[in-house]
Structure 1
């Protein structure tokens, strides 16, 4: 049974089927991913680990629809992304995928509320729901007196909480996290991972790309990737 044939609630939220990614270079083609297949069910909390150059970043880019495979199929919510136009892929990223990065990627001139509301503005192109922004900021346990501050007035941990709230504002199907604690001290990083675990317990599907076993210990399943292949 293909992902498209499954009932909505039973569908894996993400499927890679025999995915290959090759980068053509003058010195010779580089195979970053070599026949990768796996599925992520709704509500899972997964870490993806591997040494530098193993293909983690390529895998993250494909999961986030920031790149397309050389061959093979990727399904998100049962939709084959290879059949989608650039505009449709942009809308898919905006509406169904939340991104959290190591370096936060917040807008320095916008305050906390404005940063969190930005994806809503892109989606609706109309008045945003500020109550929803406040709700997600409360969910990530950011103190209310910080909502009018800009990112440069916040600590690293506080900035990452804002980034998590921004990623959640459009109710994504998947939360993709690229080394989310890599720019934080160990205590702050642990508090962010505890927040992620709580979000997952409340139903959010989370995939964390990391090199840190401490981060992976919070997840329920680890996918090891080496030389572009998944290790069994």
Structure 2
């Protein structure tokens, strides 16, 4: 099956602008026992169409980095740009809209709504964006693109396997045509065979133009990406 292409028309000028860039980003958490520096001068850029894995030991700063990439937290100092827009200049509402419209999130534990059926789960971000009824055909189109059997479209998440639920979660992340997919251990809750199927799907999505940044601890999963960013003690080491 041919996957739904996520490619967008890009002018030559836009093509030169990274979809994400960090410039000397520092994040310090003040604690009673002393300040903790979670990120220490992190700089990198992500170009359109890349597939990047982020790796590092526990406590290295991966979670903080993911929160920053998803605009869920702001740096203590330094600058973060999403498609050329400096997030430090944005209001809370603008950041909320940015996350909704331009960043797709895929989680280890799927985070689907148990009382909604699969179509309703996938189209929920569209409902948040439009504030009115949505076309279920768009949801079906994206679900077909992630190769979910149509007979499952009216089921609830608890009636699906882990791999099927992750395909639904990927479809939900794609529904608003985001600039970036952020994936937090996307195969961490799956067996190796099912996880390989999900990674094959993500590889095909990337071939069709989707920019993917994936946090993982598994070197075999990281091999699916085209570039690996390694972080230790809050700093990029390679």
Kindly provide the CA deviation profile for residues 2-59 of structure 1, in whole angstroms up to 9, marking residues without a partner as x: xxxx922221000000000000000000000000000000000000000000000000
Name the TM-score, length of structure 1 as normaliser. 0.97
Once superposed, what is the RMSD of the aligned Cα atoms?
0.8
> By how many angstroms is 1:227 displaced?
0.5
Corresponding position of 1:159: 165
Corresponding position of 1:3: none
Q: Which residue, 182, 190, 195 being the options, matches 1:184? A: 190
Q: Secondary structure at the match of 2:21?
A: strand
Alignment length (residue pairs): 227
Q: Which residue, 91, 96, 114 being the options, matches 1:90? A: 96
Following TM superposition, the consecutive aligned residue runs of length 4 or more in structure 1 with deviations greater than 3 angstroms are: none
Q: Secondary structure at the match of 2:54?
A: strand
Corresponding position of 1:10: 16
1:63 aligns with 2:84: no
> By how many angstroms is 1:62 displaced?
0.3
Which consecutive residues of structure 1, in runs of 5 or more, have no partner in the other structure?
Answer: 1-5
Q: Which residue, 193, 196, 211 being the options, matches 2:202? A: 196
1:74 aligns with 2:72: no
After TM superposition, the structure 1 = structure 2 runs for residues 28-177 of structure 1, keeping only pairs within 5 Å, are 28-177=34-183
Q: Distance in 2 between matches of 1:59 and 1:179?
A: 14
Q: Distance in 1 between matches of 2:114 and 2:122?
A: 12
Q: Distance in 2 between matches of 1:229 and 1:7?
A: 31
Q: Secondary structure at the match of 2:23?
A: strand
Corresponding position of 2:223: 217
Kindly provide the CA deviation profile for residues 188-229 of structure 1, in whole angstroms up to 9, marking residues without a partner as x: 000000000000000000000000011100000000000000
Q: Secondary structure at the match of 2:65?
A: helix
Name the TM-score, length of structure 2 as normaliser. 0.94
Q: Secondary structure at the match of 1:7?
A: helix
> By how many angstroms is 1:97 displaced?
0.2
Which consecutive residues of structure 2, in runs of 5 or more, have no partner in the other structure?
Answer: 1-11
Q: Distance in 2 between matches of 1:139 and 1:159?
A: 14
Kindly provide the CA deviation profile for residues 144-185 of structure 1, in whole angstroms up to 9, marking residues without a partner as x: 000000000000000000000000000000000000000000
Q: Distance in 2 between matches of 1:113 and 1:153?
A: 14
Q: Distance in 1 between matches of 2:153 and 2:128?
A: 20
